[in-house]
Structure 1
């Protein structure tokens, strides 16, 4: 398991901002080899994910994100039998059950990694988006934890506490850290309540 996946509480500040629409700045789809075989696409996605993990360990988050984004592009159009679009696919996009499980794990892991870097960037709305994509595929303590942090920073205290609790249900080893985060959450909520009261009191004085 990579460093980025294995540390839900890690938070750093030094990283280049990344969004799907800014991908052309750090990498281009046309620069990617065109692969027709499903197995080749999956293997290349895996390779790029691991390359991204290495860049992450070196704290080169811009290159890591470029690798993760390319990795997603190789598998984003692949569909399993349970996908609503399966009937519209062709031989180069339809997955066997085994391949479907591998691709889902890849997507979940990559979105989870990107959500951590979103936290580094203080890109909290994007973190919620990416963590949710990961959780839609596979529920993990790390996914809920990272989304909870993002919700807390966005002052969505109810959703934040719910996600912290779900994270704890999935990984009891996080109990001490999550209890501390919930205390911080309650403090932030009180502070925001005071700010709101002060704001409205000025309006009606």
Structure 2
């Protein structure tokens, strides 16, 4: 930031002392262009936050240039600020209806938000403007395929009598081939030895037999259905408890967490706070490891739903494609059913609330209301369940529209009112990349933890986890760098339309 300020000041000084550049309008126009070019360089270096800062400076000086908004839009896409990206792309189109990249950007933002019909219209505009553009045609065709698939699924769906995928699984007739040498369930149960063998199998890039994979999914679904939407967790005064944030399919970094902090056990309990899958290309390995530990230690291993434990996100960001590649489309559908039953939040010793996203558009939301949410569904686009999964904190007091286009941004006053109303000390949430892996905000009442280091192999951030003890629940942070992984790139199984986002 200091270098950016110095750069800006140096240009202003140079222009002020140059009699040729005495026209204020010319000065601002030229200066804005310099800022845009500087922002482009930061973008190439994948320093998207600095790029956004500089594009914003350029827009402030010259707010009528479509390219500035278009460039900032893709930088927002890279940082998952889909709402802001959508607004910028729309503004670019307003300024220049012939700016084709604006339609590309807006379509990508709409796709990221699951608004496929609207995205299709923008891709259609691009193909009309560039009839010989093969990339545009491919994107239009892919988006059209998704829209048709969704329409077909709605046409054949009968919600009241739709048969559960879980009920259609025939485990008895699944044959375990003689050549299978991986871990085996003990009388259908997960054991400590099974989990150790499973993790070693995954480190060697092996695959769990589908019969055992299905059995784990069926058993963990049954376990989750027995839990409320808000789970109360009791931590003894001398007990350690660990909270982890987003993992996003980064299996080898998950293994590093266990290396640093110890394997889960009855004396080493964990809570993983959503977004276990998507983006990273080892999501199957992550989720079966986590579900396995949930079955092994149901009272000492906890999992909250994230915004990526949903069908739309999984279709776009890789998990569905990965499950289909490693197992089957049927299993991908079963995962959707299981995710619908994941708890939405956990309350530690009735003093700390942990959820994936954040707080609410209303000031009167109580823990009892959260506990009674009917969660067995896909996340809605508004309301308490949506906000638990999607919201983010902001520095300013009050509330603002979400930078993601879903949920809300909430200020320190909102957090203070919520914890006071519910007798809490603070909240823990995840959902956002942080350079150090964590952030303490809102006068210590709002803590963010993110556990996927070098997110998407590009962000360069550290990962972190939180250790607490039951006596004072004072958070202690451990940070770590990313570890090497096999040469499979993030988003390897993602929808091709999102290739520009990672």
Per the shorter chain, which TM-score range?
A: 0.5 to 0.7
What RMSD in Å do the two structures reach over aligned CA positions? 3.3
Please report the TM-score for the alignment, with normalisation by the length of structure 1.
Answer: 0.59
Deviations 1:144-186 (A, max 9, x none): 1121122223232322111111112222342x22332233323
Matching residue within 103, 106, 122 for 1:147: 106
Give the corresponding residue for 1:59.
Answer: 46
Q: Is the 8 A contact 2:28 2:62 kept in 1?
A: yes
Matching residue within 33, 43, 59 for 1:72: 59
Higher helix share: 1
Determine the C-alpha separation between the residues in 1 that align with 2:67 and 2:114: 26
Aligned-pair distance for 1:50?
Answer: 0.9
Determine the C-alpha separation between the residues in 2 that align with 1:158 and 1:58: 33
Flag structure 1 segments of 5+ consecutive residues without an equivalent. Answer: 1-23, 77-103
1:116 equivalent to 2:74? Answer: yes
Q: Is the 8 A contact 2:120 2:144 kept in 1?
A: no
SS in 2 for 1:200: coil
Determine the C-alpha separation between the residues in 2 that align with 1:199 and 1:55: 50
In structure 2, relative to structure 1, the CA distance for the partners of 1:53 and 1:171 (3 Å cut) is same
After TM superposition, the structure 1 = structure 2 runs for residues 28-43 of structure 1, keeping only pairs within 5 Å, are: 37-43=24-30
Aligned-pair distance for 1:199?
Answer: 8.2
In structure 2, relative to structure 1, the CA distance for the partners of 1:198 and 1:61 (3 Å cut) is same
Matching residue within 125, 137, 142 for 1:179: 137
Deviating above 4 A after TM superposition, structure 1's stretches of 4 or more consecutive aligned residues are: 31-36, 195-199
Deviates more, 1:53-62 or 1:115-124: 115-124
In structure 2, relative to structure 1, the CA distance for the partners of 1:157 and 1:138 (3 Å cut) is same
Deviations 1:52-94 (A, max 9, x none): 1111122211111111111111224xxxxxxxxxxxxxxxxxx
After TM superposition, the structure 1 = structure 2 runs for residues 1-205 of structure 1, keeping only pairs within 5 Å, are: 37-76=24-63, 104=64, 107-139=65-97, 140-174=99-133, 176-189=134-147, 190-191=149-150, 194=153, 200-201=159-160
Q: Is the 8 A contact 2:104 2:122 kept in 1?
A: yes
SS in 2 for 1:116: helix
Determine the C-alpha separation between the residues in 2 that align with 1:51 and 1:121: 18
Q: Is the 8 A contact 2:48 2:79 kept in 1?
A: no
Q: Is the 8 A contact 2:85 2:105 kept in 1?
A: yes
Please report the TM-score for the alignment, with normalisation by the length of structure 2.
Answer: 0.26
SS in 1 for 2:160: helix
Deviations 1:1-54 (A, max 9, x none): xxxxxxxxxxxxxxxxxxxxxxx9xx88xx866988222211211111111111
Rg larger for: 2
Higher relative contact order (CA 8 A, sep 6+): 1
Aligned-pair distance for 1:112?
Answer: 0.5
In structure 2, relative to structure 1, the CA distance for the partners of 1:193 and 1:42 (3 Å cut) is same
Higher strand share: 2
Instruction: Report the number of matched residues.
Output: 148
Aligned-pair distance for 1:193?
Answer: 6.0
Determine the C-alpha separation between the residues in 2 that align with 1:183 and 1:201: 33
